[in-house]
Amino acid sequence: MSATTAIVIVAAGRGLRAGGGLPKQWQDLAGRPVLAHTVAALRPLATGPLVVVLHADDMARAGTLGDGLRLVAGGADRQASVRNALEALADDAPDRVLIHDGARPLVRPALVDRVLAALDHTPGAAPALAVTDALWRGADGLVHGTADRSGLFRAQTPQGFRFDAILNAHRAHPGGAADDVEIGRAAGLDVAIVEGDDDNIKLTWPADFARAARLMQAGGASMDIRTGNGFDVHRFGPGDGCWLCGVKVPHDRALQGHSDADVGMHALTDAIYGALGMGDIGQHFPPSDPQWKGAASHVFLRHAVGVARDNGFTLTHADVTLICERPKIGPYAEAMRAALAGIMALDPARVSVKATTSERLGFTGREEGIAALATATLVRP
């Protein structure tokens, strides 16, 4: 049986040196909070719980981080915050735990793999970079001396440990440690050094945000970019309007289906599942299941967006085309865009809703029903 790995992301600090009026983990980076990027980067790598340690004042912000997280309140300092997270995991303990700074959003899978591989042989492992610059001692703006850089490393996270060992180390430590490596070593644990990553920067100062944005942009060529298509059809039946892209459009008939028959939203949901390679709406919400009878289609769309987010993807664009003679879509297109954007937590500028006819050809031309075609784009750093 493979080892289970929990991940603890520590983000309870109040660090304001980065400016901006918010703790750095909640500031914007490429359109999302820094912490959201960190969570997205590590979520696919956890084979156990993903724990996020937050300040009590920030719990209301956790909705921007996605579902499936275990939230833990932070303590008076970083060490106390980590211990709170470890104690929260203790009743159903994982085999290993990775402890990572919430303000390091550019962590890469290869770095995590190096830490985990080292844990096969040692109770602790952490990434670091050898110090290559000259070291000075200074005061009052003047160089007062130099220091030997031999054997010195710049520590990074995630720092990994066998769970029971680091939990016991935290319980025994008197406090005041700089990081979890110090706590582990104080308890006699060997901690292996693995190769760090120059891009795995910890955001501290305003200039760090600019650098991180450049790194994210430069890394675009290695991003996982997915495009999915969805197609759906619903026939007309008795009724007084059609649900289309989250808006009820007045009409002398309604669309028929197991749920509310929102053909546009169904096509878009399938496009997202398709981009993920995860089948279609019928596999996730079988029409044979009576609980989905008459269900509002935003339930399905929110689920698809959540699955994408849980797998580290950001939905960057959605495009829906409705194919019908009637009802006329134009007067309602902007309301549909707004409705879809709200459901998907997406900027309306990244959502398109448009319509066309089939020139009186086929079932849509005969006004027997409505068809919809949708495209969705997902991006994972």
Q: What is the pLDDT of residues 267-276, one digit of tens each?
A: 999 999 999 9
pLDDT attached to residue 43: 85
pLDDT attached to residue 221: 45
pLDDT attached to residue 357: 96
Domain span at residue 91 reads: 5-220
Note whether 185 and 292 are same-domain residues: no
Closest CA to 37 of 28, 47, 49: 28
Note whether 276 and 316 are same-domain residues: yes
Closest CA to 127 of 164, 97, 154, 167: 154
Residue 305: which CATH number? Answer: 3.30.1330.50
Residue 54: which CATH number? Answer: 3.90.550.10
Main-chain phi, psi angles of 267, to 5 degrees: -60, -40
Closest CA to 38 of 158, 172, 217, 204: 158
pLDDT attached to residue 98: 98
What is the average pLDDT score of the chain? 92
Say which residue the tokens 């109040």 belong to: 14
pTM, to two decimals: 0.64
Closest CA to 376 of 242, 286, 280: 280
pLDDT attached to residue 290: 84
Note whether 244 and 314 are same-domain residues: yes
Boundary of a domain, candidates 195, 220, 245: 220
Note whether 96 and 196 are same-domain residues: yes
305 exposure class (CB count in 10 Å sphere: 0-12, 13-18, 19+): buried
Note whether 173 and 48 are same-domain residues: yes
Boundary of a domain, candidates 198, 220, 242: 220
Residues in the chain predicted with pLDDT less than 70, given as ranges, are: 1-2, 15-20, 219-223, 381
Note whether 358 and 328 are same-domain residues: yes
Note whether 261 and 371 are same-domain residues: yes
pLDDT attached to residue 222: 53
As for how many domains the chain has, the answer is 2
Note whether 318 and 356 are same-domain residues: yes
Note whether 240 and 327 are same-domain residues: yes
Report how far residue 24's alpha carbon sits from residue 102's, in angstroms, rounded to the nearest whole number: 9
* Residue 381, token pair as written in the block: 């750093």
Note whether 169 and 186 are same-domain residues: yes
Boundary of a domain, candidates 220, 236, 252: 220
Note whether 77 and 179 are same-domain residues: yes
Note whether 234 and 203 are same-domain residues: no
pLDDT attached to residue 273: 96
Q: Spell out a b/e string for 210-220, using b for 16 or more CB atoms within 10 Å of the CB, else e.
A: eebeebbeeee
